[in-house]
Chains A and B, each alone.
Chain A
């Protein structure tokens, strides 16, 4: 069915999710077109904190914890492949990360949460440890007096997300993928086993269509008999000037980039599509960061911004295939960086094969179709 269409696969969305999948498909020899919005798009891929994070993920859905761990474990291979194909070093490092606690109560709460996470049936097993203040001081010598301890997980790491997005785009283009920016999709119509896509630049016929449009999925999914109940959730980030390296581990809300800047994050706010920065939240972020590393108080702040996560009701991703229109798929998550390796190396082959495996059932949006009690 594919030869007669303009493209075998149309991926809707050119952020980290769409380009990871597009690159993964193109590597398998598929003909892929990515349709994207322009510079005005809400682009979570350009505003995120760039952690490749495992600890604390999956309480309520062990399948998600396993998927996250798989991505973390294959991330180094992804970085290597991207560098080999594009000469772009995305600066992935996995030195292990910390979730630090300011106060005993906070530490207790974090420990309890991890215990619950790992006590779940079918939970993937991996190591983590509770680190007391004395040991923390040897690993993070600059911590302040308020830090009582923290959780360390050797699987946690970080990357340069801007370079990652650039590498996916560059690699995709090198493999012959077609990227069409400023072609926002208006309508998708299933038509005799294929899909007609009306977009800003005209009409395109595709054999298969993969939604990776972030918050835009909510509008597009119903056109394909799919449900993408996602909403924007704002996060704000503060960035300092470049400093000599002092921080060897990402600390969930504080990390030093490969270029020396220190990123401080990140809030969780329900603010609709308002992506403006507010002093109140920024001040709280800075205050907490300077309690964790007091010397940060001397650093100059050079930028702050807000971006919008793509959030489901339960916080877990949706990977779904349309029952009504085979060949239509939905992908959405709020961890496009962490899951980049899983999307490019594992999900893309499933989409190329045309079917999601049975053990992906937990990721289906059908989990939200629960009737309200009478």
Chain B
């Protein structure tokens, strides 16, 4: 669905999403890297269990909540990728203690 701009440079680092390795670029937000990899679903709604995607990409809408490095409900559009970062999609409400 999403393509990187032709002059956007090389994908230089790797993160994992639910265990799968994904190429990302220095400076990407987790949400941007997720979308660029062809994944559009970041979580299932805590209320209806419906699949949700990053939406505003600027920290306002809280649609892009994901578990990042073991911490739940982080806004994936506000977290920059780092080499080896572990990203997980969430199902329903955040787990107590995660």
Footprint of B on A, CB under 8 Å?
142, 241-244, 246, 259-260, 295, 298-300
Contact = CB atoms under 8 A, between A and B. Distances in A.
9 contacts: A241-B73, A241-B93, A242-B46, A242-B94, A243-B94, A243-B96, A260-B93, A295-B97, A300-B73
Interface of B: 46-47, 71, 73, 92-98
Q: Which 10 A-B residue pairs are closest in the complex by CB-CB distance?
A: A295-B97, A246-B96, A242-B93, A260-B93, A244-B93, A242-B46, A244-B95, A243-B96, A243-B94, A243-B93
A24 to B, nearest CB: 33
Of B46, B92, B93, B97, the most chain A CB neighbours within 10 A belong to B97
Contacts of B46: 242, 260
B10 to A, nearest CB: 35
B96 A241 contact: no
A295 to B, nearest CB: 4
A243 B92 CA distance: 9
A142 B96 contact: yes
A260 B95 CA distance: 10
Nearest to B97: A295
A298 B93 contact: no
A294 to B, nearest CB: 9
Contacts of A298: 71, 97-98
B64 to A, nearest CB: 14
B94 A295 contact: no
A243 B95 contact: yes
A48 B97 CA distance: 26
Contacts of B71: 298
A126 B93 CA distance: 37
Nearest to A300: B73
A57 B71 CA distance: 40
Contacts of A259: 47
A10 to B, nearest CB: 39
A295 B72 CA distance: 12
Contacts of A295: 96-97
B63 to A, nearest CB: 14
Nearest to A293: B96
Nearest to A295: B97
A300 B98 CA distance: 11
Contacts of B47: 259
A244 B96 contact: yes
A251 to B, nearest CB: 14
A89 to B, nearest CB: 15
Contacts of B96: 142, 243-244, 246, 295, 299
Given A295-B97, A298-B97, A298-B98, A244 B73 contact: no
B94 A241 contact: yes
A259 B47 CA distance: 8
Contacts of A300: 73
A354 B73 CA distance: 55
A241 B95 CA distance: 11
A334 B1 CA distance: 57
